[in-house]
């Protein structure tokens, strides 16, 4: 009976022999997380957002440079025309007309809008980077939850196998005593019911394994079915975690950093919205050449060049309150970003308290349930001996077995809760523990 505790602590390899598990390929937790972070749509979108904001940053820097364009063309007229007598005559000897040019434009002053836009997009890039970190750990959390669900299902299967073995032993004992008229037929029938319940528990656990494997396969996006590796089925190992350090990391986690960057971008956008109240000063220069030739060539033999230098000052006196509308929208967005930052900070503190407390509670539950299993196992052994001596009833045996089954289930749930709480803390702080 004491082997039951060992089998629950390290789930046996027979779980891999359940129907439908032969095709499942074992995968380590680290590999599962890596595959999911590569293939998960949310992670792909987060990386794409980083690429987009990086391009926006480069574009904002380029806004300080002049725009430059070049043009070239060649044309020739043909067809018919009217002569002096009003007769239609064909064109003859029309030359090719050539032109080319070069122009550039530069905004000298724009009310500081380019500076504000640059600050905004740089903050957006920082927010995208924090979002990418957050998404990676959220994906890791989803994978770990499902991976741990596979482990829990395997532990439940191991417990169900032990339950079935014990029920079969009890049935054999009841039948043997029934043959010598030491017990009633009711004891034997109740033992049959116990065997059936154990078989149903085993089938349920095996079905849970198949469902958990399918869900894990979807997350890692592999063309083949995967399952948790036996090397990752060890029991809970408690570590000394510095609560103060973890709380500090939570308050500076990726969600908070993303909210801070978003607030910075919103403030910069609010400043940029006020730039139209200042005049804009532009500088432009154009160089154009025109020439003609009787035959077609890549360039004409001679060109006549013209150039133009432009300096322009512009100030919108009344733009139908478009500036005021833009300022109102930007200010509202800035206040919303400030509220989001405040909420993100409080959410980080709440998450730390919730997940850290759940971690410690589950840690204590694991220790308590291990002791409870040992006690329930010993109690069942004693009750069975008393039953053999006819000093206890079969109902006492059933009650002791139910207590042991409940303790096993509670231990499985406590282990799952511990693993998930630790993964939630890692997702909150954006780094492994």
Q: pLDDT tens across 280-332, in order? A: 999 999 999 888 777 776 666 677 889 999 999 988 888 888 889 999 999 99
- From residue 345, alpha-carbon distances to 225, 322, 372 in Å are 40, 35, 40
Q: DSSP letter at 285?
A: E
pLDDT in tens, 222-260: 899 999 887 765 555 555 667 888 888 888 889 999 899
User: Could you tell me which CATH class the domain 3-67+109-280+321-429 is placed in?
Assistant: mainly alpha
pLDDT in tens, 132-146: 988 988 899 999 999
- From residue 372, alpha-carbon distances to 156, 340, 418 in Å are 17, 46, 18
Residue 33 has pLDDT above 60, yes or no: yes
Q: Work out the burial of residue 314: count CB atoms within 10 Å of its CB; fewer than 13 is exposed, 13-18 middle, 19 or more buried.
A: exposed
**Mean pLDDT, all residues of the chain:** 84
Q: What is the pLDDT of residue 5?
A: 34
pLDDT in tens, 355-375: 999 999 998 999 899 999 999
Instruction: Tell me how far the alpha carbon of residue 237 is from its chain's centroid.
Output: 26
Are the beta carbons of 176 and 36 closer than 8 angstroms? no
The end-to-end CA distance of the chain, in Å, is 36
What percentage of residues in the chain have a pLDDT greater than 70?
Answer: 89
Cα–Cα nearest to 337, from 385, 273, 269, 238:
269
Task: Enumerate the domain spans of the chain.
Answer: 3-67+109-280+321-429
- Determine the Cα–Cα distance for residues 157 and 256; give it in Å rounded to an integer: 41
- Determine the Cα–Cα distance for residues 433 and 36; give it in Å rounded to an integer: 19
Count Cβ atoms below 10 Å from residue 426 Cβ, excluding itself.
Answer: 19
């Amino acid at each position: 009976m004491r082997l039951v505790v060992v089998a629950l602590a390290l789930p046996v390899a027979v779980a891999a022999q359940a129907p439908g598990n032969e095709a499942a390929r074992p995968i380590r937790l680290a590999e599962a997380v890596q595959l999911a972070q590569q293939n998960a749509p949310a992670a792909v979108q987060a990386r794409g957002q980083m690429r987009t904001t990086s391009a926006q940053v480069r574009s904002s820097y380029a806004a300080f440079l002049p725009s430059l364009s070049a043009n070239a063309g060649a044309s020739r007229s043909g067809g018919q025309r009217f002569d002096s007598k009003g007769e239609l005559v064909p064109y003859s000897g029309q030359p090719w007309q050539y032109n080319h040019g070069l122009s550039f434009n530069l905004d000298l002053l724009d009310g500081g809008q380019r500076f504000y836009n640059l600050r905004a997009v740089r903050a957006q890039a920082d927010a995208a980077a924090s979002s990418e970190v957050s998404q990676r750990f959220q994906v890791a959390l989803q994978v770990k939850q499902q991976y741990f669900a596979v482990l829990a299902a395997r532990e439940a299967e191991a417990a169900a196998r032990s339950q079935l073995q014990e029920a079969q032993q009890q049935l054999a004992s009841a039948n043997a005593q029934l043959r010598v008229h030491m017990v009633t037929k009711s004891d034997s029938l109740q033992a049959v019911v116990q065997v059936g319940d154990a078989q149903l528990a085993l089938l349920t656990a095996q079905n849970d394994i198949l469902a958990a494997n399918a869900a894990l396969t979807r997350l890692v996006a592999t063309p083949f079915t995967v399952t948790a590796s036996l090397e990752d089925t060890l029991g809970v190992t408690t570590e000394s975690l510095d609560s103060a350090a973890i709380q500090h990391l939570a308050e500076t986690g990726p969600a908070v950093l993303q909210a801070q960057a978003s607030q910075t971008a919103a403030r910069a956008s609010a400043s940029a919205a006020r730039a139209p109240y200042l005049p804009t000063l532009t500088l432009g220069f154009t160089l154009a050449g025109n020439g003609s030739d009787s035959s077609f060539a890549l360039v004409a033999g001679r060109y006549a060049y013209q150039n133009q230098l432009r300096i322009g000052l512009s100030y919108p006196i009344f733009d139908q309150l478009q500036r005021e509308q833009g300022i109102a929208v930007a200010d509202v967005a800035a206040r919303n970003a400030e509220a989001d930052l405040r909420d993100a900070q409080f959410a980080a503190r709440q998450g730390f308290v919730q997940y850290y407390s759940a971690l410690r509670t589950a840690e204590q539950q694991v220790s308590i349930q291990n002791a409870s299993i040992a006690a329930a196992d010993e109690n069942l052994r004693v009750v069975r001996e008393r039953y053999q001596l006819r000093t206890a009833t079969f109902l006492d045996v059933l009650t002791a077995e139910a207590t042991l089954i409940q303790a096993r289930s509670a231990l499985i749930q406590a282990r799952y809760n511990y693993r998930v709480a630790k993964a939630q803390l890692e997702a909150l702080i954006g780094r492994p523990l």
